[in-house]
Amino acid sequence: MNLTGFQDRLAIVTGAAGGIGQAIVAALHAAGARVVATDMPEALEQAGVADAENLVWRPLDVRDGASDALVAEAEARFGPLMLGVHAAGIVSTLPLLDSPAEEWDRVMGINAGGVFNVATAFGRAMRRHGKGGAIVVVGSNAAGIPRMNMGVYAASKAAATMLTRCLGLELAQHGIRCNIVAPGSTLTPMQTGMWQDGNGAARVIAGDGPSFRTGIPLGKLASPEDIAASVMYLLSEQAGHVTMADIYVDGGATLRA
């Protein structure tokens, strides 16, 4: 199936310097979209990104109120916003009883508050221009299954998921679709940063009974491109009747769709 609906359309991506974010940016740019890619300044510097034709990189902290201004700048350059992807997020691996209030505020501020700030800015712009549009939030399969020592992270992703679905309900009357892609373990720096040795991938694939974590039935980690492909489908015209969906892309790890 040839996905359509990208040529010369403005797409904004947050968390764009991360592994999944960069794969999404590359896929959108290759499909002909005009892409404004954003991330924290230090992440942009570390990734060594550079502008290209129809691709510009801009700093954005999703916790502050700059999302509307960023959207306005992007629209002034590339036309009305039609495609929005929110991929910014952080992980937390502390047990709940050992998590200080500051950790809760930090993770919720980025993973849930960031979705509120960014996705609503996308929605306001799309409602204003009246041409419809599609918003995809990159969540996590942890939003739908309890995880040992990841309670703060799981709660933040569950909040982000329901926020996105409620936004989709509000925006449906304007022809704006809002969906979630929920990755499982994906080969990114966020994932490998949690490994203690070179056997991390094997342990994740096999699962861990004492921590009540199933393995991955497909027997492999996702690649960033696997996640980007699902995002691209949900943004495309071929998904024109799909909204408020929560698609798990985890190789079957959570034993649910």
Predicted pLDDT of residue 192: 65
Domain range summary for the chain, segments of one domain joined by +: 10-184+222-248
Q: In the chain, what percentage of residues exceed pLDDT 70?
A: 96
Is the pLDDT score of 69 beyond 80?
A: yes
* pLDDT at 210 (0 to 100): 85
Which pLDDT score is estimated for 199?
72
The pLDDT of residue 86: 98
Contacts of 177 (CB under 8 A, 6+ apart): 132, 133, 134, 135, 168, 171, 234, 239, 240, 242, 243
Q: Tokens 């950790």 belong to which residue?
A: 103
The token pair at 45 is: 């510097």
Report, as an integer, the average pLDDT of 218-240: 97
pLDDT of residue 27: 98
Catalytic residue among 6, 78, 122, 153: 153
Q: Once rounded to an integer, what is the mean pLDDT over residues 98-111?
A: 98
Fold of 10-184+222-248: Rossmann fold (3.40.50)
Judged against a pLDDT cut of 90, whether residue 194 lies above it is answered with no
User: Which residue do the tokens 């203690």 mark?
Assistant: 196
The Cα angle at residue 208 between residues 204 and 214, in degrees rounded to 5: 75
pLDDT at 159 over 80: yes
- Using 50, 70 and 90 to split pLDDT, how confident is the model at 247? very high
pTM of the model: 0.95
Task: Provide the pLDDT for residue 206.
Answer: 75
Q: Is the pLDDT of residue 193 over 70?
A: no
Residue 179 near residue 168 (C-beta atoms within 8 A): yes
Mean pLDDT computed over every residue of the chain: 95
Determine the pLDDT at residue 195: 60
What average pLDDT does the segment 103-111 reach?
Answer: 98
Asked if pLDDT for residue 67 goes beyond 90, the answer is: yes
153 is catalytic: yes
What average pLDDT does range 115-125 have in this prediction? 98
How high is the pLDDT of residue 38?
98
